[in-house]
Amino acid sequence: VKKLDPNLGVIDHVLAALACLLAVYSIGMSLNNTELAVFFTVAITLAATTGYALSRLVKGKRIAALDSYLWAVSGVASVGLVNVLNGILPGGGFPFELLAAGILCWVLLFGNLFAWRDQTLIFLSLPCIAIFGLVGTFDTFAAATVLFFVFMLTIALLYARIHQRSMIERAKRSGAETLELLRRGPWKWMAGPEWALASALAIILFSFVGAPVLRSTLDGVAGKVSVSLPQQRRQQQQQQQAAAASDVNVGTGPAILTDLLVTRVRIDKPRYLRLNSFSAYTGGGWSTTRISLPAGTPLVEHSPTDQPTAIGPNGGFLTWPGYPLPPFEPIQNGRVIPLTLKDSNNENNSFIAPGPIVEIEGNPEDYTFLAAGWVYLEDPLARSAVVTAHALVPTESPADRKAVLPPALAPLDGVYRSKQNIASKVRDLAYRATEGAQSDFAKALAIKSAIEQRVRYNIKAPQTPQGKDPVEYFLFESNEGYCDLFASAMVLMARSAGLPARYVTGYIINDNKRDAEGFYTIRMRDYHAWCEIYFEGVGWVPFDPTEGAPSVGEGVGSTGETAWYRSEGFRNALIALVVVALLFPVYMAAKQRGVVVDGRSERVASEVARLHALFNRAIERHSGMPKRFSQTTREFVSAAGPRLGEAKPTAEGLVGTLEAAMYSSRQLDKEGLVALGKSVSDLRAALGRMKKQRA
């Protein structure tokens, strides 16, 4: 900032291009279209390079003034030819509902080509802001916030340089000769980089702290509008979900999950909320085994037309007429708990619940009860829907129960105890871990403990190398991973030990704070995987080995793969920084006021100067005469003397003391400084009293 640069240069073009790159990259990534992001990143880099070369060619020529017109024409062309331009984009281009974002990207591309002057360059930031607005609205790219901060810093630097050039231009118009003279003279005391740095720091700190506060303050009124994700993204997600329902891979590398709202749930306490379960380990992931039950078994999936319509004790309709509990998971002495969902933004067709659903409100045709207690939604819940269901949860401890499937699930026993695709090392580990365990429950705990002691939780754990079993690699080589690997390892080891186990995905309630209506908030980052083992009479019991595992970077036992900047540690560090930032001005003010006097000569001189200024100001206020620059303090007091009345001798005496303090070779000691300060204060008080008396 201190370096005065009168010319538009390569730095400005780089800053503008960087701002544009951040925007186009963010929109590409938020659409889950890496090809699109890379295309515009490369294209804008080339355009900016060409634009810079062109700006050098036309510098000082009249044609340079045409840049804004050229940009405007190309912008209009981008609108008119949007379909053609979108057609040449890789990755399918922008989805139809986001063609506006496509136009903005093209406008940025052409802008980098034609921005040859400050006036044009500065306006490149506007489409960028609009693009970031879209990215933020969809909230499908977790790094967007950080990139936006980088963007803000970039354009702030660009704005500062452009503003400085406008000031230099003004200085030239006013007749300033050289920048060097300005730097040494009238601009010598200009606020410099320390202001910019402090401002940037304050802005970032304020944003990081203020945004959550703002959001939690508005929590009651926010979120009334449901945003439909762009078609392309939604299709991909649906495809992923469809794949997830029948097949899911594990150990695929870090997953960045966002804060996007999934739903709000009112339930008795935070519990594991099931979404899907998987029975068959494929060697690289999990799939659902669909089996045919023996003829005559009533436990088949029912089609919507077979839906029971009997009204249950809580006013909803029942899963099975006259038989409130799904027979797939008989739970003895279980407790039926209410479960209410609202503001659902998920696109899942499964109803999340902590146990088998026995009763649900609403239209029976909207739901299909599956034999295992799952409820299949014909359509994902609407944002405005508030649905209450009742789920059965166990009340008894599984500690003394056997891990045996009920007779109704006997046909699936081979599936849930299957040792297929389990590596021998994993089985051996399970045997060793469960040696000496007296009960099935003890075995389960031993396995859980063995995993927790063996591996670390790391959201940045790399992908399992090609050709390797992810669970084996996780337990014996990398020794780190995330929830899917923990859950998979637990299931496989449990099966190795003869326990019926399954792999379950769903959500856990990380944020224990309820809102005013008693709802917990569930976000994308709460997505989780865990192991469930069946205990006779208790049902499927969740085991989460991430709970006791040490973590790398993220909190222990944390289940959501959240970004580092959302971690507790980072937030604590930020709060500490805020406190320091708030205390710093207080310290500086105290120092300036002389509270903190460290005895160094410059501090004494500074304090004397401050007292001198206070003295002059007091005389000015009382006498109504401004002190002229041409006047010494003594001349000023002499001129104002007639108006000072009885305070005149004191003032004249103080002038001598101040002159001695400021100009004599003997430096004032601490006592002298305190005495001088008191004298000035006394004079000010005396003048104040006189003024009151006069009034």
Query: Which one of 164-172, 401-409, 418-426, 529-537 is the stretch in contact with another protein (CB under 8 A)?
Result: 164-172
Residues 251-290 that bind another protein (CB under 8 A): 258-261
Strands (E), 306-461: 317-318, 335-342, 357-360, 367-369, 375-377, 387-393, 456-458
CA distance 196 to 1: 8
597 binds another protein (CB under 8 A): no
Report the nearest approach of another protein to the CB of residue 51 (Å): 18
Nearest C-alpha neighbor of 197 from the set 473, 584, 460, 535: 584
Whichever of 195 and 323 has its CB closer to another protein, that residue is 195
Q: Please provide the distance, in angstroms rounded to a whole number, between the alpha carbons at the two ends of the chain.
A: 50
CA distance 582 to 343: 38
CA distance 342 to 384: 7
Whichever of 224 and 692 has its CB closer to another protein, that residue is 224
674 binds another protein (CB under 8 A): no
Query: Which one of 128-136, 280-288, 400-408, 484-492 is the stretch in contact with another protein (CB under 8 A)?
Result: 128-136
664: number of Cβ within 10 Å: 9
CA distance 538 to 349: 26
149 binds another protein (CB under 8 A): yes
223 binds another protein (CB under 8 A): yes
CA distance 139 to 123: 25
CA distance 42 to 46: 6
625 binds another protein (CB under 8 A): no
Q: Which of 6, 90, 133, 304 binds another protein (CB under 8 A)?
A: 133
Q: Which of 89, 109, 135, 501 binds another protein (CB under 8 A)?
A: 135
Residues in contact with another protein, shown as a per-residue x/- string from 188 to 217 under the rule CB under 8 A:
xxxxx-xxx--x--xxx-xxx-xxx-xx--
Query: Which one of 5-13, 219-227, 446-454, 547-555 is the stretch in contact with another protein (CB under 8 A)?
Result: 219-227
Whichever of 419 and 591 has its CB closer to another protein, that residue is 591
Cβ neighbours of residue 572 closer than 8 Å, sequence gap 6 or more: none
Q: Which of 78, 112, 145, 348 binds another protein (CB under 8 A)?
A: 145
227 binds another protein (CB under 8 A): yes
Whichever of 58 and 625 has its CB closer to another protein, that residue is 625
694 binds another protein (CB under 8 A): no
Report the nearest approach of another protein to the CB of residue 140 (Å): 10
Is residue 504 within 8 Å of 532, Cβ to Cβ?
A: yes
Q: Which of 62, 173, 600, 694 binds another protein (CB under 8 A)?
A: 173
Q: Which of 460, 617, 621, 689 binds another protein (CB under 8 A)?
A: 617
Whichever of 177 and 671 has its CB closer to another protein, that residue is 177
Residues 557-596 that bind another protein (CB under 8 A): 592
What are the CA-CA distances from residue 116 to residues 18, 48, 172, 192, 314 (Å)? 16, 10, 21, 27, 71
337: number of Cβ within 10 Å: 17
Q: Which residues pair with 523 in a beta bridge?
A: 261
Three-class SS of residue 100?
helix
613 binds another protein (CB under 8 A): yes
Q: Which residues pair with 488 in a beta bridge?
A: none
**Torsion (CA) 304, 306, 309, 314 in degrees, nearest 10:** -70
Report the nearest approach of another protein to the CB of residue 106 (Å): 19
